[in-house]
Structure 1
């Protein structure tokens, strides 16, 4: 493959991955609006996440089976990966985060969770020898500084147990991006999302039954977009949009972008959550939050540019294989 063709292919995959990642972040960002509306009527976080993952698994079942096309051996061969993905990246990550929120300010808990992107950078360095370059370091600092402005966690207590839960949530987030980025010989994105949710739903059910999660629901109408509506409406949004579609789209994007870039683009979820809270709940962001959003975008752009530079450099340094040489030699009729 020539460098020119490589550049076109890489840009095409990158553009497609970036588009899917932004779409996935937007869908994940709707979860706060749906969850706030339900919790205002008495739903507990444990009940919300259990309903969210269980219904999402049901919704994805026919699509996941179609994507496998009878290749159940892929599911059997990836059983260990699926269990780890569902237990840590799906159920565990959400459980850790909600436990952190019980002891910390929401902004602090979110910062600790999204600090998991630094673990992804460290993993790429230690596992694949991809030492972070200056633009990645600068992008990391900018992205986290911007997130600090958006979330404004000042005033939150630093309960050590809560901090530990937040770090575990960040670890779960890092595991999600690392495992979702595996493409060759892996399950199709929809199948991985579905299988992980089945495992996650079963795990959450155990947490509910044993009392590790408070499980309480309400049949009262909820207020959403200024209107009263029955509770199944936001539950459907939480399960279908913010879980089933969001996870499948995000996994597909991560396989195109790689774990590092996808994890940074995932920060857009916070910005979308702020935007949707403004539109649906009237929670207008302040000037510092808007400025923080710009800084986050700048950090993502730096990491993305650095990743493109690494890929182009790696291709340019790759030796030309003998199979590529005949294409440069004229044929018997003067054609190549």
Structure 2
């Protein structure tokens, strides 16, 4: 009986890890395709509004199907959906592009990915989950790896306003992992959370674009990808269907399975995928420093995984058949938290 539960938990964890990596790869593809649109005259706000808007059109019907008429769940989790859509989707994207206006892309990305530290701090403050030494070591290794991968010491441009926007983006990233990983007996299905959350984000972004709060601009020129000339809508379709709908959909499912902390660190692989795709599609070959940074990131992921496993064993999760495994985001709490 116990061996069956352990096998099922191991398979669930493995599936969750795979889904988070697939999500990271999908998110990582956005850079190359967005760059092609920006070079053709699009503004960052225009790119993200189309990306989130069309992704919402795809996932909202899926969310309705996943809910299967259980509208009471949507009412009970309205706060989680609004937080996901307003902070993790619209707010994070809006803050990041504001940071890019006054900071280099590398520094803005590094600030955003400090959200992994926010997740560890949130789990400690909200759920009393004190990070182990291995988890803290994973934080250090992952941040050090990001510094090398993003090569932030090459022509750094510092603006305090940009730093503030970058830190707000970090909160948005942390909110994505925390809201995705939060699960209780009345939770929304993962695809419902992703779909309705994207719907909220799309409404906010369209509203911000329409009122001039963000600098919205598009173009209908052909774009260059991997040395080939393609229609502008091809890049938009990739950003909406792959880098948003697929990325958010499988990302929420994977985060539910492995927990917010592990997913947030494994999500750092998005940077590695972005570098690899930039090499394949834009002929931007990563250097040895970036490769070394990638190894540090992977080391950080392993350290966090080992740290979380050690904590679960020490606390004694008491998992039984049909319950969530110890690595769920709420495992430190004795009762589900609304």
TM-score, normalised relative to structure 2 = 0.91
Aligned counterparts of 1:188 and 1:38: Cα–Cα separation in 2: 34
Deviation, structure 1 residue 75: 1.5
Aligned counterparts of 1:200 and 1:50: Cα–Cα separation in 2: 9
Equivalence for 2:85 = 86
Q: 1:65 to 1:156 in 2, by over 3 A?
A: same
Aligned counterparts of 1:182 and 1:139: Cα–Cα separation in 2: 22
Aligned counterparts of 1:201 and 1:25: Cα–Cα separation in 2: 21
Aligned counterparts of 2:200 and 2:319: Cα–Cα separation in 1: 44
Deviation, structure 1 residue 5: 4.8
C-alpha offsets along residues 12-31 of structure 1, whole Å, 9 cap, x if unaligned? Answer: 22111111111100000000
2:26 counterpart of 1:27? yes
Equivalence for 2:125 = 126
For this pair of structures, how many residues does the alignment match? 318
Deviation, structure 1 residue 9: 3.4
Q: 1:319 to 1:255 in 2, by over 3 A?
A: closer
Deviation, structure 1 residue 243: 0.2
Kept in 2: contact 1:7–1:312 (CA 8 A): no
Q: What aligned pairs does 1:26-45 form with structure 2 within 5 A after superposition?
A: 26-45=25-44
Equivalence for 2:328 = none
Kept in 1: contact 2:115–2:173 (CA 8 A): yes
Between 182-191 and 31-40, the greater mean CA deviation after superposition: 182-191
2:306 counterpart of 1:289? no
SS in structure 1 opposite 2:229?
Answer: strand
Between 40-49 and 189-198, the greater mean CA deviation after superposition: 189-198
Aligned counterparts of 2:226 and 2:300: Cα–Cα separation in 1: 32
Equivalence for 1:162 = 162
Deviation, structure 1 residue 156: 1.6
Deviation, structure 1 residue 231: 0.6
Q: What aligned pairs does 1:272-311 form with structure 2 within 5 A after superposition?
A: 272-311=273-312
Aligned counterparts of 1:124 and 1:197: Cα–Cα separation in 2: 24
Aligned counterparts of 1:85 and 1:295: Cα–Cα separation in 2: 29
SS in structure 1 opposite 2:213?
Answer: coil
C-alpha offsets along residues 251-283 of structure 1, whole Å, 9 cap, x if unaligned? Answer: 011111111001001100011000000000000
Aligned-residue CA RMSD (Å): 1.5
- Runs of at least 5 residues in structure 2 that lack an aligned partner in the other structure: 321-338
Q: 1:271 to 1:319 in 2, by over 3 A?
A: closer
Deviation, structure 1 residue 288: 0.3
Equivalence for 1:226 = 227
SS in structure 2 opposite 1:214?
Answer: coil
C-alpha offsets along residues 268-302 of structure 1, whole Å, 9 cap, x if unaligned? Answer: 00110000000000000011001110111011111
Kept in 2: contact 1:138–1:299 (CA 8 A): yes
TM-score, normalised relative to structure 1 = 0.91
Q: What aligned pairs does 1:147-226 form with structure 2 within 5 A after superposition?
A: 147-154=146-153, 155-184=155-184, 185-226=186-227
Kept in 2: contact 1:56–1:240 (CA 8 A): yes
SS in structure 2 opposite 1:228?
Answer: strand
C-alpha offsets along residues 103-143 of structure 1, whole Å, 9 cap, x if unaligned? Answer: 10111111110001001001111112111111111111001
Q: 1:82 to 1:319 in 2, by over 3 A?
A: closer
